[in-house]
Amino acid sequence: MGFIKRNREVILVAALLVLPLGVYFAHARHPSERSRLDRMVLALTAPMEKGVSRAVGAILNVWNGYIALHHAHERARELERQVSVLKLKEMEFQRVKEENDRLHELLAFAQATPDWRVVGARVIGVRLDPKGLQVITIDRGSEAGIVRMMPVMVGGGVVGRVHAVASSTADVLVLTDRNSSIAVRVERSRARANVRGTGSPESCRLEYALRSDDIAEGDVLVTSGTDGVFPRGLLVGKVTGLKRSGQGLYQRADVAPAANVTKLEEVLVLFPSEERPPAKAAGEAPQAAESTAGGKP
């Protein structure tokens, strides 16, 4: 007892070091879901992320719409000021047009996949951690009917799949995460392979492509639908650096993802048609495109 009392601090610090390591190795063999405590703590962060996101957006709006204009007023003559105002308006129109184009693109995608329903969501957080998971946080969660493993898209291509869900937010594991593996097909030759993330947001790699398969640089990769997560035919990326060695079963290549995960603003979460997303609460502002694709009721 005397020994424990004397070395209480050392024992407790050692326990703090050893216990998490034990948990890590245990979870490495048997991955588990987040605990209730984890979910509760994460739920606390969602309002903060939303709040900061809104505050920064508001500051940027004020900056673009007022302070920058004020500086122009001090510097320029009346005519120049009017030009500045018009330019700002043009930029605003351009921004609205670009947003409109993006939403049109999402809508076009939604209408082209009649077997899937889609829910639009805005990106409110980004964690592309080089030493951990590469996730983005979206502002829709289980209240919108989102569950784990649902595919997430933008008009340009596959973004990833839902990794964890809280009531009003969800984490999406992006396709560039090293734990992400998507079954794909080369659109030109129909050869099959997998696209796996590398942990770097701008590249993935092609795996399990047989050496005898017809694959060339620039080939477009689409989902094959065989992984049970993504519907077939969604754009994933392009083959860039093809390496075909003289031996071995497989050829290897780099893949440039079609969706740029560092520039996401709105995304679509895909629901299989039998899983209907719940209706939104009355009075809630629409976040992005929400569609019953293919004109189905």
**Partner residues linked to 121 by β-bridges:** 267
Angle (deg, nearest 10), helices 68-75 and 78-112: 150
Site string for another protein, 207-226 (x = CB under 8 A): x-------------------
Phi–psi pair at 157, nearest 5 degrees: 160, -170
Q: Which of 128, 220, 242, 256 binds another protein (CB under 8 A)?
A: 128
Burial (0-12, 13-18, 19+ Cβ within 10 Å), 263? exposed
Tell which one of 200, 210, 216, 226 touches another protein (CB under 8 A). Answer: 200
Residue 251 corresponds to which tokens in the numbers above? 């050829």
Contact indicator for 289, 106 with CB cutoff of 8 Å:
yes
Contact between 4 and another protein by CB under 8 A: the answer reads no
Q: How many residues bind another protein (CB under 8 A)?
A: 60
Residues 267 to 286: which contact another protein by CB under 8 A?
Answer: none
18 or 216: CB nearest another protein: 18
Q: Does 261 bind another protein (CB under 8 A)?
A: yes
Interface characters, 139-178, with another protein (x: CB under 8 A): ---------------------------------------x
Q: Pick from 145, 199, 237, 257: which binds another protein (CB under 8 A)?
A: 199
By CB under 8 A, the residues from 60 to 89 that bind another protein are 60
Binding status of residue 129 toward another protein by CB under 8 A: yes
Nearer to another protein, 17 or 281 (CB): 17
Q: Say which residues have a Cβ less than 8 Å from residue 102's Cβ, sequence separation at least 6.
A: 154, 155, 265, 266
Query: Where on the chain is the footprint of another protein (CB under 8 A)?
Result: 9, 12-13, 16-17, 19-29, 31-32, 34, 38, 41-42, 44-45, 48-50, 52-53, 56, 60, 123-137, 178-179, 181, 196, 198-201, 207, 260-264
